[in-house]
Amino acid sequence: MTKHGMLNFMEVNKKEKIKRLPNASVTAPMGYEAGGLFCGIRKKRLDMGWIYSQVPAEAAGVYTTNLFQAAPLLVTQDSIGVENKLQGILVNSGKANACTGDQGLHDAYDMRASFSKVLNMKEHFAAVVSTGVIGEHLPMDKVKFGINSIAPAREKVGVAEFEKAILTTDTCTKHFGVQLNINGKVVHIGGAAKGSGMIHPNMATMLAFVTTDANVPHPCLQEALGQVTNSTFNQITVDGDTSTNDMVLLLANGLADTESLTPEHPDWEVFLEGLKLVCQELSKQIARDGEGATKLIEVEVKGAPTDKVAQAIGKSIVGSSLVKSAVFGTDANWGRIICAIGYSGQAINPNEVKVSIGPFTVVENGLPSTFDEDEAKKYLEQETIQIHIGLGNGTGEATCWGCDLSYDYVRINASYRT
């Protein structure tokens, strides 16, 4: 068998061990519970959620690259830094606890202490997460009320309430999961996320929580999350803004009783592919739910010198306000796509570039290609729009996701605080 044939066999074998679970969430793996409630931070909607593992779990995280990191991020990183483990995650929506100084940091630690006490776990096994308006202090009386309400609420609420409690301007909840066959044993990975605005590929500008019952040591878990983030959450953009609070947390509690999964394990690639699939689906759901969005834009770039070059070009296209506006207006204006490729900062040969909007080739070898404008317009009326870029200069490739730019984006963000 040729090397190429062996790779194809491995790819097929890997996919046969992965089952998609579109309705699954963070409680799909063994030993996790989640819930949400209303504590009064927001006017009406659920505003406090939690995830809890029966046992301390190996933990990994990636965090916003915005220099104004919010207090909860600092506290969560501090928690993970003690033993590389987490057992519970507390999330509030409505107020971000960002740019709140020493008081904000004190409040975040206070949240951690209260939450860990209520669920009877070590304080450093608790993570705290906040999302919402920047620059306003948390109403700690309401926060404390919410935390003290968790114990009696645990039997009455579940993961659906958690998914709702973490939302801000989102129009829908976001979740996905997979079932894996790891060395003959069933393993699950499940995830939930929020994100609609302030979404830009610069880490993972939103909140995402992923759980698994696989047994994965912290260093390998962190490596896997970093690797997967680069090809999923880092490949989405809604508006070019990177927030102060965003993070992705990954927990592995080992309750599926598998062998320790490391890169040396025969099924490590199965686990990695399953994790990537969960994060990719969450990324696409976030991009599709961009504030005011009506369409998901998927840009596939091939033929680049490296994957990194392909990623940069893909991000440039999905981040272009003019491309996004053209998609909203069902205008096959390929000139805007070409411009976005050209200002991406990547060295490409314009004479090799091919651009297709769905099935319609609009540019060939850097020159206009004849296509049916009316049929292209009909294609652009769909909810998912694919743009294919061929660079003819290597094997590097990437896929990026974004959304169209509608009138509602301005309306939503013009009145965000009111």
Provide the annotated active-site residues. 205
Q: Are 151 and 118 in contact (CB under 8 A)?
A: yes
For the record, the structure tokens of 326 come out as: 């053209």
Farthest-apart Cα atoms in the chain, separation? 67
Which distant-in-sequence residues (6+ apart) come within 8 Å of 323 by Cβ? 297, 317, 336, 337, 340
* Phi, psi dihedrals of residue 65, rounded to the nearest 5°: -95, 0
Angle of the 307-318 helix axis to the 334-342 helix axis, nearest 10:
130
HSE of 315 in the Cβ direction (CA atoms, 13 Å)?
Answer: 23
Is the CA virtual torsion 387, 388, 394, 398 positive or negative? positive
Residue 195 Rama label (left phi>0; alpha psi -120 to 50; beta): left
CB neighbour class for 3 (10 Å; exposed up to 12, middle 13-18, buried from 19):
exposed
250 vs 385: CA distance, rounded Å: 30
